[in-house]
Structure 1
Amino acid sequence: MKKSIIIILTVLIVFLINNCFSQETQHQPNNRPDLKDESLIKLLDTNNIDRILNHGNSVWLLKFYAPWCKHSQEFQKTFVEMSHLLKDHLNFGSVDCINDPMLLHRFEITAYPTLKFLYNGQLFEFQGERTIEHIVQFLQSGYKDVVAMPYPLIDQQEILKRQLELQYSREGMTPEQIEQVERQIKEKQQEYENKRNARKYLEVEHDHDEEREIAEYNERINKKLNNNNNNIDQVLENEPKVPGNSTVESTSHSMLESILDSKLAYLLFGSISTGLFFIIKKKISKKSKFMKIA
């Protein structure tokens, strides 16, 4: 009897313990992301990529892939997991280069999958081991060691389109037609470079920051005034100076004194000459009187 009671109690205790553990696991939150949830990854193509990526100063991690590529398929789970773990820090986008070859050439993709970090309008290509740890290190500071690629402008689309058309239809074209298409491509390339340089000039050199431009203008004016003052001082220092005089006023004053001194000299010379004249005249008059008496 006692043995049966002990067995029943043991079974009840085991049942209660299992029930408690099952309830705890049910209420315990699941922090691991769903690797099938790709809702945080934006699908990008030629029609929307510029509108989405150039909106504001957003930061993106872009994946360029091919659906048939085994490495792209294996990396997809890691990319999805990263999109959940880092959703508060950056955005995630993917580009199917097979269905959109224009973007393949435009972003200079040479291998699958390729990761590019878009930050401040510059693209930084990740070339390390495709693990979460290594990619996070790259996003934090490693991208600074990579040569940046400027974001390719939309104007380059037409150039690439012409190049592809020429590449795949060259055999059915006459030499004149090929020459015409090549000339059009060169013209478009030159137009693209001009627009790119103009955009760089406006964004980097002249971003129309009124307060900054006013401050720079005032700084240039003050610098010019200081240079002029320094030049004047240098000229005055190089000019011969009257001892004890160093300013323009003292120079004019010394000139006035020299003029006055010259007048005094003339007066002195005149008075001496007059005195000599009267002395000579007096002697002559005495001599004439002496001759009359004799």
Structure 2
Amino acid sequence: MKILFIGDVFGKGGRNAVKKFLPQILEEEAIELVICNGENLSHGKGILPRHYEEMMDVGVDFFTTGNHAFAKKEGNTLFESEDNIIRPKNIKEEKPGVGTREFDVNGTLIRVTNLLGTCFINELDPYNAFLELESVVSENKASIHIVDFHAEATAEKQALAYAFDGKVSAILGTHTHIQTADERILKGGTAYITDVGMCGSYNSVIGSEKKEVLERFVTEQKTRFQVDDRADMFCAVLMDIDDKTGKAKSIERIYIHP
């Protein structure tokens, strides 16, 4: 089964990038499932229902999130009313929704799990992702299991991948918005990349306009970041996963930019 996973979609520019590039990819590839990280869909933080619908209309089937999942109060209802969106599973706070779901795609049972890293991430107070994923794996019945590990530290992402190599189909890092060039299939058959990257503006600072970000670093004063609305970068990975064994056969980076 061919599965496309789209990196963090950042604001209006990210949404427009998905609308610009996804239809062509779907036309060229026999993709059966499109997943995207939607935690930055709305103005760079959180997800509003209208933007969720906008991405559904262009071909996204399933949504993962991250530390900004609940930044938009209006969007919190999505986690209770919709069955194709999840939030990080390993959070201590009482929040709506679930962190893992099973669903059928053309006769194949798929599971998608969302986890949050514990290094340098304070929102939502995450706890041990390793133990949480072990509990999910121990009860998993799905043939294919995709994990979105929304984390800051590269070491934490790599460690989780090695710990669960052969136990899940893919561990895909998100959160930093910078695509890494280390996509591979580990010895046990798990597809891995440290960070899928983001969709949005190429000449920005991880999605925000440069001026305010530079001002904060130079003056060490808080500034209000502005979303850069340009839509010229699209980051994703295309995986081919065996329906029966759940092992990855290939993982390919997609990096479209000027």
Structure holding more helix per residue: 1
Larger RCO: 1 or 2 (CA < 8 Å, sep 6+): 2
**Larger radius of gyration between Structure 1 and Structure 2:** 1
- Mark yes or no: TM-score above 0.5: no
Q: TM-score, normalised by structure 2?
A: 0.19
Is the strand fraction higher in 1 or 2?
Answer: 2
What's the TM-score, normalizing by structure 1? 0.17
